[in-house]
Amino acid sequence: MLDNFKKETKKVGTEVKQKIGTYVLAGFGLVAGLAWNEAIKGLIERYFPLASGGGLLAKFIYAVIITIVIVVVSIYILKSEKSNK
């Protein structure tokens, strides 16, 4: 009984460490994504100024492209996880 409790406690501790690691990496990914977002916004503002109306269109195109990329990557990751199980 005590051995089973120790095993379960160790298993839970390992799972918690894995989850924390995942969340920390996700946080770093978010920071990197925000940095790239600012860089791309600056690039759009430089080459497509808002005064001409092109900047707004460029931002929408950027948003659509990013959304498509994220959906494709998410589908790939989910399929990869299913095939590993």
pLDDT digits (tens, 9 = 90+) for 40-83: 888 888 887 766 666 778 888 888 999 999 999 999 988 887 88
State the Cα–Cα distance between residues 7 and 53, nearest whole angstrom. Answer: 63
pLDDT digits (tens, 9 = 90+) for 9-40: 888 888 998 899 999 999 999 999 999 999 98
State the Cα–Cα distance between residues 56 and 41, nearest whole angstrom. Answer: 10
- Which pLDDT value is given to residue 80? 85
| Count of domains for the chain | 1
Domain interval for residue 77: 2-84
